[in-house]
Structure 1
Amino acid sequence: MDKNELKQFSVALRLVEGKDLGAALDIILPYVESHPYVPYSEDVKDIKENFRLMLHYMELGVEDDMRESMYNDMLDKLKGGIRNLRSDYRRRNVDFYKDAYSRASVKTNSFSEKAIRMQMEDFVSDLAMLQLESVEKRDKMADELYLSHYSFMQALFCHIVVSELWTEEQASAIGDIILSPTVDSGDAQVVVSAMMLSVMNNFDINKFRVLVRIYSEAKDEALKQKALIAWTLSVTDGVDSALQLQIMSPLLSRDDVVRDLLDLQKQMVFCMNAENDNDIIQRDIMPTLVKNSNLTSYRLGIEDNDQELRDILDPEADDRSMEEVENKFQKMIEMQKSGADIYFGGFSQMKRFSFFYSLPNWFFPFSLNHPELHRVKDSLKRNRFLTNLMATGPFCDSDKYSFALAVVSVIDKIPSDMIEMMNHGEMPKQQFISDEEMATPAYLRRRALQDLYRFYRLYRWHNQIYNPFDTDNVLFMACSLFDNTAVSEKRVELGNFLLSRREAILLSKLMPKLQFDGSVAGYLVKGGYYLEMSRDFVEAKECFMKAAYFSGDDIRALRGMAKAAFHSNDLKMAENAYRKLYTLEPDNKSYALHYAIVCSKMGDFEQAAKILYELDYKYPESSNVKRVLAWTLMGENKLEQAAKIYAKLLDSDTVGDMDLLNAGYCKWFMKDISGATTLFAEYCENLLKSRKDSSAPDYLSISNILDEDFINDGAMLNCFGITAVEMILIKRITYKLTRDK
């Protein structure tokens, strides 16, 4: 595969979209002339000749009322020609397309619209007619029917994926077939998935049109949701933009569609976090399940392998273990309900079966009648537990195929008593999701997205095609085609979602698309991004100020403004914001504590102490309250009281490096130079260790650490008349202590 040649197609198409016919021809003609026998080369040469004639008559000064329409016609023809040339190139040079093309070519059947309809409708009627056959004949005839039909559907899928541009008539005919009640829903979903792959990788306005139509008219909810995913992920900036918008506009005016698009966008973000969710499960949940793996399931419930001994030593151990296991299972259930893909980690290891080497198999709805499950079908159907699991388990279709294929390899090795137990349906089961919820559009959409995500992460040639889950592609709601539509009005809500999940990269890509004029929610999202992610406290402060102005001091705006002002060292604004928050919610510990901190930093130690004494009374075990109180007491020159608090903090389990520094200040102000420098030395050593600096401390590193702190705490040092010379001497003594250790 020559990436430079592939790039030529993209560059030429961008020039066509920019209506520069001559420049596009200059790019694509060298390829056509070096490949004279490829399809559509003659079409491009015809366009070149017509363009030459147009230029010639223009130079002669000939007036032509049709010149502009002819020019646009040539642009449209060249655009289609380039896309078809690209399809041909991929079929011959790119592994993904070469494999699909070869699979499509295996089937000798015609893929005309008439032949497709006949095959798909005949399958449904033939399947129904099997019920008239004897039981002896029925199973064998069914196997033959499914084998033939799956073979056709696999070839059809690949044919559509590598197909050239469709005419409007072709697309309309396919739409009629897919929406026909005489066609199997699973087959219809397979065709929609194939069209999606085709459009995403070689945009075709007519395929796009029929996907939107299927979503609008489909009665089957699973088909409808796959069509929604298909046309949404196919929306492309800068390609037939006006036509795309014209096709989508009736849908984008509907509140239910806009809400579905927002939910779809959120679900895609959840999919992208599958690996992180798996890490959480492996770190926080699986150790508990493994630890309690000695609990074995029997007919009468849970029985411990060492029951008698455990009953003697710890009679309540079983109850605690079961409660712990149940809590961890509940955590997984809550993760799943919130949108997490909790099964990706386990099932991603089960995609190495040859089944998944075939592109179409990633997109078939799960069915035990798939020919590649022939060996295990009877065993699975006889097993009540496995049948229920396949029918109602909260897994996407791809994972169900993985599970079924895994069963093939181990079914003969499972002990007979376990098989019996499973056949009687006596295995313990957990109702992760209700039947009603499993039939909802949101669940069906999430399951389809999980199938798609696995394909783009695990298929052997996934990196050769456009990936809608890439960071640069995943935010379809940021697409310019959605500007000035109802979708753009949901971007602030999406931004708030990304902010809550700390998706810094994705939020940064959405930021230019957020509208802020008078929008409190917009300014809150923007302020949150600057505050929590980019750490631009000045910009964050400005955003929260505007949010507070437009909202009349909304508490979220005040909270953000207070935090941003504090971090940007605008103590006056921070004091004003925290005072308002404290007044609004005097029982809020965080507001009270931060208000006291700001008061203390501004030198209003009396007000700070008043708040802190009350907090210390309410929260006697709070180390943070005691830290601020000790600092405030120092400001009031109550050094003995401050020293007692610091002594307790240094002796506690929650002692921190800043406790060492501040306790050192206290001793310094009490003229205990030895005690102060000992604490400063320990503080500096801890900081150097945290920076993974294994070298012996030198004077410069000690000096730099303490200089920064002395500057930050200059107001307090000034209160006690500490001079620059004293600071230098303290640094020197501290260095001497670290050196002599």
Structure 2
Amino acid sequence: MITTEIAKQQYEIYALLAERRLKDAFGKLAVLITELQDWLSRDKLNEMETSYKYMIQYMLDGVEDPERKRIYDHLVVSAYALTDRVSDELAAPVSPTQYYGWKRYATASRANETLASQCDRCDQALNDLSLASLLSGQEQDAAKLKSLKRRVEEEAGILFMDVWTNYPAREEDYATLRDALYANRFPDDLVGLLISALLLNLLHRFDEEKLLLLLDGYRQESPEIQMRSLCAALIVMYIYRERLSLFPRVQHRIDALGEEPRFKGDVRTVFLQLIKTQETEKITRKMTEELLPEMMKLGPSLYKKIKQEDLMNDINALEENPEWQDMLDKTGIADKLKELTDLQMEGADVFMSTFSHLKSFPFFQSIQNWFLPFNPEHTALSGLLDGQGGERFKKMLSASALLCNSDKYSFCLSLSQVPESQRQMMMGQFGAENAAMQEMANEELMKKEKSRENISNRYIQDLYRFFKLYIRRSEFTDPFAGHINLLHVSVLEPLLSGQESLRLIGEYYFRRGYYDEALELFERLSATYHSDAEVYQKIGFCYQKQGEYAEALEAFLKAEIIAPDNFWTIRRIATCYRNLKKPEMALSYYHRAEKIQPDNLSVQMNIGHCYVEQKDYEEALKYYFKVDYLDPDGGKAWQPIAWCSFLVGKKEQARRYYAKILAGKPTALDYLNAGHVEFSLGHIRQAIDYYRRSIELDGGNTAKFLANFKQDIPDLVSAGISSSDIPILLDQLMYGITDAR
């Protein structure tokens, strides 16, 4: 059985177990066990199935069994565990993934190594480095120190791989992991790395004990360890949300942590940051498809606007020239830059597109390096940050709250491609002459960098980059492939279901346009806040965005009862009625809106549209003319005025307005309608010319033109055109088009 088939069967069994279809799950599991040819697994499955059949029989016989649910849950847990083990054993000898490759290598070359022995090797390497570092400057051997640092990094990398591939775990492995993570045995940087290894391990196979270990990380003193372990645990709980209810110890641990004063707030913070990851792809697309191409187009024209001598004499001429800002405003770049700046201030990931191209360095071929907390003394950066101002530069970069750890490494490694003279000049900018200013900036950055919110945000960005950019990313379960909604994790729901949390999360979803998720939360809020018009307004808006106008109308009507004269609500009700094809009801609400804002152009236009939908063209014209009077240069009402004028027989008036429309930026439909007017006036050649232009604007699509034309035939006949003349004119039009080709 090939690995893709093994994985397919495995996830099919997971789906059946999530639906609690045990019989079908047992059947598919039997297929995997047959492939494995393991009689112990077969016996285990037979034992489970026999127990299940007895349970069913007792229930049919009406036997009351207070232990039934516990036994049933245990059977489901056992089925999950057996599926995990069997599928793992099937994949181990044949899978080409890095995970199984390392396991095969460890079995063949490191048969006597255990998790505990590798921890000891790490410990020894760290001790050797510490002892060497204590020697005086004269006694220190730089090459030896570098060699010892590299050894620490190599042993840490091996330990990362061992923790990641530690499945199935033995009892002594759990004790080793606890000791490595939380006994102050290793520095925080290494503990942070091992937390990431544990996350990858759990994404490969669920393990209750290891999830509890992650949750225990929240009780450590270091904010870095607290927030990293919390982020990892929350992601794992979301991925395995279907089976968490089977593990009461997880619920008990969450309940206990809920007593910690910061826990609920930290969970909410991480949740909001996980939601922000959905913005990353949009931001990246905006950068690569909108902002950067516009900037590239702007370049040549910008330099034409600036005098050559200004550029040569004043390096700031680019910033000071007012035409620069004018050009930015005209192209829309200024607005896009402001939007990105605002997103960055909110903690959004605006650097993904910038640094995604800097992940091809050999450094990132080692999986553990994607999760390393930034250390400017890492041997991969040796020599890159030396020289005048280098130490200060290292401190500034380490403390920067703008970049995640992965991007800091990318930035430093990219310096290797800069000529040394330019690199040294850049470092010199951080020299002693700027010491006071840099020190102040450094302190501010340190505060931001060490804040709990920033730690979790940067760690989530590190994780996002790994799952989206790592060269072998297809081998992993990507938690960011869909939307991580922690409200759907039953054990976390009580922490997030408070009114303050629901509103905060709902507002964030709403502002970012995630209307499905926002709707779910506002519906829950409405059950408590019966008299909050804003909640019902937002419920209605979410429904409207989904095209569910009846549900939107119901919500808006509730909002209207609470706040009867709210202009926004009244307009939305009118819009819903229009979409529900009830123009008479829409009209009554637009007239109410008109009383509140008599000169609102949009309201006036929509009143006109409602009259058109009721075929009262004369009345519609009154409102369209009012819009044209209030905004004579806008041209918003020209098209409806022209068409309604034609429909009521005011053909010359219609012709005048179509002339104004065609002098601007006409559409194919404008030429079609203008042609109708000319046709009705007997100006056949002019009509054919307009029809031809309509077809040209639509890319020569005659079928589309004819379909639109046929819809208008009743109006043409009403305008006095003989129905027998219409096919003749159309044939002449087609002859002309054919001849032109």
- Report the TM-score when normalising by structure 2: 0.77
Residue number among 312, 318, 321 corresponding to 1:319 in the alignment: 321
Structure 1 residue 684 displacement after superposition: 3.1
Which residue type is aligned with residue 368 of structure 1?
Answer: P
The aligned counterpart of 1:648 is 660
Which residue type is aligned with residue 44 of structure 1?
Answer: S
1:619 aligns with 2:631: yes
Which residue type is aligned with residue 281 of structure 1?
Answer: L
The aligned counterpart of 1:408 is 416
Which residue type is aligned with residue 462 of structure 1?
Answer: R
1:355 aligns with 2:363: yes
Say whether the 8 Å CA contact 1:681–1:734 is kept in structure 2.
Answer: yes
1:104–1:568 Cα change, 3 Å:
farther
| Match runs of 1:204-243 below 5 Å | 204-215=207-218, 217-234=219-236, 235=238, 236-243=240-247
The aligned counterpart of 1:2 is 3
Q: CA RMSD in A?
A: 5.0
- SS at 2:633's partner residue? coil
- SS at 1:80's partner residue? helix
1:426–1:321 Cα change, 3 Å:
farther
The 10-residue stretch of structure 1 (134-143 or 245-254) with the greater mean CA deviation from structure 2: 245-254
The 10-residue stretch of structure 1 (605-614 or 279-288) with the greater mean CA deviation from structure 2: 605-614
Structure 1 residue 603 displacement after superposition: 4.2
Structure 1 residue 31 displacement after superposition: 4.6
1:129–1:208 Cα change, 3 Å:
same
Say whether the 8 Å CA contact 2:188–2:225 is kept in structure 1.
Answer: yes
The aligned counterpart of 1:590 is 602
| Match runs of 1:65-144 below 5 Å | 76-77=77-78, 79-92=80-93, 93-101=95-103, 110-112=114-116, 116=119, 132-137=134-139, 140=142, 143-144=146-147
What is the CA–CA distance in structure 2 between the aligned matches of 1:185 and 1:606, rounded to whole Å? Answer: 78
The aligned counterpart of 1:370 is 378
1:251–1:59 Cα change, 3 Å:
closer
What is the CA–CA distance in structure 1 between the aligned matches of 2:266 and 2:536, rounded to whole Å? Answer: 26
The aligned counterpart of 2:150 is 147
What is the CA–CA distance in structure 2 between the aligned matches of 1:624 and 1:395, rounded to whole Å? Answer: 47
Residue number among 186, 189, 209 corresponding to 1:186 in the alignment: 189
What is the CA–CA distance in structure 1 between the aligned matches of 2:307 and 2:100, rounded to whole Å? Answer: 56
- SS at 1:376's partner residue? coil
Say whether the 8 Å CA contact 1:44–1:78 is kept in structure 2.
Answer: no
The aligned counterpart of 1:462 is 473
1:334 aligns with 2:342: yes
1:664 aligns with 2:666: no
The 10-residue stretch of structure 1 (118-127 or 574-583) with the greater mean CA deviation from structure 2: 118-127
Residue number among 680, 687, 695 corresponding to 1:676 in the alignment: 687
**Alignment identity in percent?**
19
What is the CA–CA distance in structure 2 between the aligned matches of 1:56 and 1:415, rounded to whole Å? Answer: 73
1:266 aligns with 2:275: yes
- SS at 1:366's partner residue? coil
Say whether the 8 Å CA contact 2:679–2:687 is kept in structure 1.
Answer: yes
Structure 1 residue 97 displacement after superposition: 0.5
The aligned counterpart of 1:345 is 353
Which residue type is aligned with residue 272 of structure 2?
Answer: D
The aligned counterpart of 2:461 is 450
Structure 1 residue 399 displacement after superposition: 1.5
What is the CA–CA distance in structure 2 between the aligned matches of 1:629 and 1:71, rounded to whole Å? Answer: 72
The aligned counterpart of 1:542 is 550
Structure 1 residue 625 displacement after superposition: 2.9
Structure 1 residue 542 displacement after superposition: 0.2
Say whether the 8 Å CA contact 1:252–1:486 is kept in structure 2.
Answer: no
Which residue type is aligned with residue 457 of structure 2?
Answer: R
The aligned counterpart of 2:614 is 602
Q: Which deviations, in whole Å up to 9, do the C-alpha atoms of 1:69-105 show, x marking residues without a partner?
A: 7776565445434323444445542412034436877
Q: Which deviations, in whole Å up to 9, do the C-alpha atoms of 1:334-371 show, x marking residues without a partner?
A: 34335553322232222122211111111111112223
1:81–1:95 Cα change, 3 Å:
same
- SS at 1:624's partner residue? coil
1:708 aligns with 2:700: no
1:192–1:329 Cα change, 3 Å:
same
Say whether the 8 Å CA contact 1:120–1:184 is kept in structure 2.
Answer: no
Q: Which deviations, in whole Å up to 9, do the C-alpha atoms of 1:468-515 show, x marking residues without a partner?
A: 1224x6455556777787459878986776676566xxx679989984
The aligned counterpart of 2:587 is 575
The 10-residue stretch of structure 1 (21-30 or 450-459) with the greater mean CA deviation from structure 2: 21-30
What is the CA–CA distance in structure 1 between the aligned matches of 2:126 and 2:619, rounded to whole Å? Answer: 81
| Match runs of 1:282-321 below 5 Å | 282-288=292-298, 306-307=308-309, 319-320=321-322
Q: Where does structure 2 lack aligned partners over 5 or more consecutive residues?
A: 528-532
What is the CA–CA distance in structure 2 between the aligned matches of 1:187 and 1:206, rounded to whole Å? Answer: 21
What is the CA–CA distance in structure 1 between the aligned matches of 2:156 and 2:555, rounded to whole Å? Answer: 55
The 10-residue stretch of structure 1 (152-161 or 482-491) with the greater mean CA deviation from structure 2: 482-491
- SS at 2:418's partner residue? helix
What is the CA–CA distance in structure 2 between the aligned matches of 1:58 and 1:569, rounded to whole Å? Answer: 57
Which residue type is aligned with residue 210 of structure 1?
Answer: L
1:351–1:104 Cα change, 3 Å:
farther
1:55–1:174 Cα change, 3 Å:
closer
The aligned counterpart of 1:281 is 291
What is the CA–CA distance in structure 2 between the aligned matches of 1:233 and 1:531, rounded to whole Å? Answer: 32
Which residue type is aligned with residue 44 of structure 2?
Answer: I
Structure 1 residue 649 displacement after superposition: 2.1
Which residue type is aligned with residue 7 of structure 2?
Answer: L
Which residue type is aligned with residue 239 of structure 1?
Answer: R
What is the CA–CA distance in structure 2 between the aligned matches of 1:261 and 1:604, rounded to whole Å? Answer: 56
Say whether the 8 Å CA contact 2:574–2:589 is kept in structure 1.
Answer: yes
Q: Which deviations, in whole Å up to 9, do the C-alpha atoms of 1:168-187 show, x marking residues without a partner?
A: 99658745754556753322
Say whether the 8 Å CA contact 1:524–1:543 is kept in structure 2.
Answer: no
Q: Where does structure 1 lack aligned partners over 5 or more consecutive residues?
A: 296-303
| Match runs of 1:42-57 below 5 Å | 44-48=41-45, 50=47
What is the CA–CA distance in structure 1 between the aligned matches of 2:498 and 2:713, rounded to whole Å? Answer: 49
- Report the TM-score when normalising by structure 1: 0.77
Structure 1 residue 27 displacement after superposition: 4.0
Structure 1 residue 134 displacement after superposition: 1.1
What is the CA–CA distance in structure 2 between the aligned matches of 1:625 and 1:250, rounded to whole Å? Answer: 65
Say whether the 8 Å CA contact 2:553–2:576 is kept in structure 1.
Answer: no
